[in-house]
Amino acid sequence: MGLFGTDGVRGKAGEKVTATAAMRLAMATGIYFKPQAKTKKILVGKDTRRSGYMIENAIVAGLTAVGYSVIQIGPMPTPAIAFITENMRCDAGIMISASHNPFYDNGIKFFDSKGRKLTKEVESEIAKIYDNLELIEASQEVEKNIGRSKRIDVAEGRYIVHIKNSFPKERTLNGLRVVIDCANGAGYKAGPTILDELGADVKVINNSPSGYNINETCGAMHPEVLANAVREYRADIGIALDGDADRIVLVDELGNIINGDKLMGSLAAYLKQKGELANNQFVTTIMSNKALDDYLAKQGITTHRSEVGDKNVATLMREVGANFGGEESGHVIFSDYSATGDGVLSGLQALAYVVESGKKASELFNQFELYPQLKDDIIVSNKPPLEEIEGLKELKSKIENDNIRHLFRYSGTENKLRLLLEGNDKAKLSAYMQESLEFFKKALA
């Protein structure tokens, strides 16, 4: 298995993501960026996991050892790291987070000077340096060339102002009751502050991080908790973030969880209506329901599909000239304001739609029906190439011949094989899913 997954490096803290590995990875990253350095500064942030202290200090040691100065900004959303990296003219940014994973996992995500996630090619180059112990040893600086580190507290204010500026200047959230579930994660300060400063009646839940309760029965991974809170507080809408606040799940005023494809479809149509959807293009991944494509086509919007991962969505957006895209899982990108998925920003854009339309969330974000779809996953101990599994080609052909769309892929962040089937016949979907599960359990045993 390679060093980098779908979204940086991720694994159990103290096992895969150790202090030693983090320091070595930081050194490799510094070595890669030094030849193109403009400021010799790298930004480092983290979410609220206890292991973040260990990894942060190791990263600072590694970067300063190869001559980089480090700016530490503490617990902040992943998209804030992307924004502040560019805003403070850093050569790169590093976010310590395992996103939606449990507290005992952690990870390291990387951004270039423009706040964009690194390409696979750059990750490959850093991985090569990581494996070159002689180069790492020879690249350590001495005397006045050793870097330094400083911690600043004003960075969060920059992010808050930036996100607020994405909201229509002539509008406020006065009269709107909003519940926000912060997942005891990185958005626990910025999210509620932004909503409050724009005038919303804010009810905040799960904003007391202990280092161990991030994503624990809360946030975007457990939106039913938010749904109950929306009903309890009789709110107009609910916003759930994940651990590093780059994902969002919305709940309408009835306490119903809003499907990610329906959310993106409604927002794409809203942007086009305002003349703000660049080139009438939209980008999503192969995971999204085809009903989304069909709905947007009726609105005169062209849909493009990328591989899974908001990094891949962002890359394709740049290629086709789109300024809006995302994943049905909740990574939504408004590239006019952010180079990566941003849960707080996305929530704010949804709230702008609610305010400007004067309609209920249940009406706005339920514009079309999804085609029947089944998802499941299997825990795996290894990940042999799918194209090499005997009999899989025949199984796929059989499914396709019944007009069913299929997607079998390994998770880039967990030891799981993910299965998706989509079609109009629910009975056939169920039968093929059972057959597929049995096939893979036997093939990967």
**Other C-beta atoms lying within 10 Å of the C-beta of residue 62:** 27
Are 272 and 302 a contacting pair, CB within 8 Å? no
CA dihedral 401, 402, 404, 407 (to 10 degrees): -50
Answer yes or no: are the C-beta atoms of 55 and 22 closer than 8 Å: yes
Half-sphere exposure (CA, 13 Å, Cβ side) for 13?
22
> What's the rounded Cα separation, in Å, for the pair 207 and 205?
6
Residue where the block lists tokens 């709940």: 251
Residue 107 main-chain phi, psi, to 5 deg: -155, 175
Within 10 A of 409 (CB to CB), how many other CB atoms are there?
A: 16
Quick one: 74 exposed, middle or buried, by C-beta within 10 A (0-12, 13-18, 19+)? middle
Residues 203, 239 contacting (CB under 8 angstroms):
no
**306 is annotated as an active-site residue:** no
- Only one residue has tokens 């609105």, namely 299
CA distance 68 to 214: 31
**Radius of gyration (C-alpha) of the chain in whole angstroms:** 22
Helices (H), 216-341: 223-233, 260-273, 290-298, 310-320
Q: Which of 51, 69, 97, 99 is catalytic?
A: 99
Other CB atoms within a 10 A radius of the CB of residue 79 amount to 33
* Half-sphere CA count of 161, side-chain side, radius 13 A: 7
CA 202 to chain CA centroid, Å, is 24
CB 147 within 8 A of CB 68: yes
CB atoms within 10 A of CB 365: 23
Q: Which residues are catalytic?
A: 99
